Amino acid sequence: MPSLHPKTIEAIRTYENDLLANWRAGLESTGAARGVGEELLHRETNQMLMLLVEASQNGDTSNIGSATWEKIRQFLEQVSRSRALQGFDSQHTATFVFSLKQALFALIQREFASDPLLLTEQVWMISELVDALGMHTVRTFQKSREDVIKRQQEELLELSTPVVKLWDGILALPMIGTLDSQRTQVVMESLLQKIVDTGSEVAIIDITGVPTVDTLVAQHLLKTVTAIRLMGADCIISGVRPQIAQTIVHLGLDLQGVITKSNLADALALALKRAGLRVVPAAD
């Protein structure tokens, strides 16, 4: 089981302050410390070096996936997630780990100057160890960025499908852009939840802002209409322009039983009529 030489670990402990100073200087020179507060940088470098020494005493340096390295893995995952949320890139985050090499190499060269074979062995082991920790950091950073992007996409989908209360018991959902499976799911969930929360009996889906309607889009609309009906509410699709009507006919899509209107105003008038209401001019 390859592990760092006891003399290497002792040297790191003895010259800890010098090692940390050289590491931070390297971070400053590469720009990896830019945007990170001085207090936070000192805390992170101190903690990582402490965890590195702790794991190196009994840990196999060629297997950072073992339980011995769990604490330092968790620490690096925390750093990666923090950097990702702050908007740093993967290179900036990886450099935080990789820049430790230069400081460690300088220390090891001084300690093992009289033993070239042991020097080479320790330099190689440290290089592989830091590389493995750095790659773990990059992988965690990429996953964190993917999670951030996914969450932002979900938030954008929610913002792009606002459910508007037009009147007591009447909801409207203006659609803008193309419909796909993911967006249809968000639309269905938010609209059905709003129907439950408000006790609405009529839902209007306005597709004025939908550029084209193909077979897939029509299927998504039909699924949404079916789900609304299962909730005990009626659904009206508005914004059916002549081009969209022709496309639906040419595609041979069956929208029988689905109430459609050319614009939102007509759909609202129909919804009010179903609710036993009508709009009249105000008295002079």
Distance between CA 51 and CA 18 in Å, rounded?
17
- DSSP letter string, 24-45: HHHHHHHTTTTTS-HHHHHHHH
Q: Which pLDDT value is given to residue 153? A: 67
Per-residue pLDDT tens listing for the chain (284 residues): 567 888 888 999 999 999 999 999 888 888 877 778 888 888 889 999 999 988 888 767 878 888 888 999 999 888 888 887 777 877 888 888 888 988 999 999 988 888 889 889 988 988 998 899 888 888 888 887 777 777 766 666 555 568 889 989 999 988 877 777 777 777 788 888 999 999 999 999 998 888 877 777 777 778 888 889 898 899 999 988 888 778 778 877 767 778 889 899 999 999 998 888 888 888 75
Phi-psi group of 249: left, alpha or beta (phi > 0 → left; psi -120 to 50 → alpha; rest → beta)? alpha
Look at residue 17 in the predicted model and tell me its pLDDT. 92
**3-state DSSP helix/strand/coil % of the chain, to nearest 5:** 65, 10, 25
What pLDDT score was predicted for residue 159? 53
DSSP E strands in the chain: the ranges are 164-167, 170-176, 202-209, 234-238, 259-261
Look up tokens 């929610």; give the residue. Answer: 158
Asked if residues 75 and 47 have their Cβ atoms less than 8 Å apart, the reply is yes
- Give the C-alpha separation, 232 to 201, whole Å: 7
List domains and CATH numbers for the chain: 6-155 (1.10.490), 164-274 (3.30.750.24)
